[in-house]
Amino acid sequence: MRESCADLHIHTCLSPCADREMSPPAVVKWGREKGLDVIAVCDHNSAENVEAARRAAKNTGLTVLGGMEISSREEVHVLGIFPDDRALRSAQEVVYDNLSGENDPQTFGEQLLMNEHGEIVGHNGRLLIAATALSLEEVVGTIHALGGVAIAAHVDRPSFSVLSQLGFIPTGLGLDGVEVCRDEVPPLPRDLAVVRSSDAHRPEEIGSRSTRFLVEKPTVREIGMALRGVEGRRIVR
């Protein structure tokens, strides 16, 4: 077993609310400089910059996990982090099938697709900032059906969290954990694992909050086991 320091909620320039400076290589560079072992790229409702970040991280020692920050129809944000490319692509297809509207860059911001060198290779025209037609239960169910972990995003914030939108965490929802991005943790069910992540939209925010996991290797499966506290895997307090 070893400790892995992880920031499981980082945006790239694909998210319309993120800085243009959040290119895949910049995200990797800052992650390494902050001493992180693992990052999860979780753009809004899309995973199209994940592969570029992985290529940028090749031979650096930094592990890049692929995910999305999925917005349910209740406008609850959930981090879905997936075990492999096939699962990530399948999740993206489900999200795109349930996402309507076209982006207006002047109103919401650009949605840039970049390669591992930070060069623009395209734009995503979907309205990624919007809520999907998926219910919260469907979002969590889709993540789990594809072998991913489902973490309720920024539950300590006054908008777009399960607590801000619903006022409570539904019994039986099946979350693997909840994320906090600030210092104070709101009252939460005791059986839910709490992770700290940055929700970085700007380079300097990367690694400002992180979680240490005791795992055998930095994989989604191992992190899921740590969230459940099984077979010696755990969150290091």
- Closest by CA to 142, choosing from 211, 68, 192, 209, is 68
How do residues 148-168 score in pLDDT, each as one tens digit? Answer: 999 999 999 999 999 999 999
How do residues 61-76 score in pLDDT, each as one tens digit? Answer: 999 999 999 999 999 9
Q: Are strands 211-215 and 234-236 parallel, antiparallel or unpaired?
A: antiparallel
Which phi-psi region, left, alpha or beta, contains residue 88 (left: φ > 0; alpha: ψ -120 to 50)? alpha
How do residues 122-158 score in pLDDT, each as one tens digit? Answer: 999 999 999 999 999 999 999 999 999 999 999 999 9
Total structural domains within the chain: 1
How do residues 105-116 score in pLDDT, each as one tens digit? Answer: 999 999 999 999
Query: Where residue 190 sits, what CATH number does that domain have?
Result: 3.20.20.140
- Whole-angstrom CA distances from 14 to 32, 56, 145, 236 are 21, 16, 25, 32
How do residues 49-102 score in pLDDT, each as one tens digit? Answer: 999 999 999 999 999 999 999 999 999 999 999 999 999 999 999 999 999 999
Task: Tell me what the mean pLDDT of segment 14-43 comes to.
Answer: 98
Contact 140, 175 (CB under 8 A): yes
Q: Where are the beta strands (DSSP E) in the chain?
A: 2-10, 38-44, 63-71, 77-82, 112-114, 120-123, 149-152, 177-180, 194-196, 211-215, 234-236
pLDDT at res. 185: 85
Structural domain for 114, as ranges: 2-236
Residues 6+ apart with CB under 8 A from 183: none
DSSP for 81-133 reads EESSHHHHHHHHHHHHHT---B--HHHH---EEE-TTS-EEEE--B-TTS--S
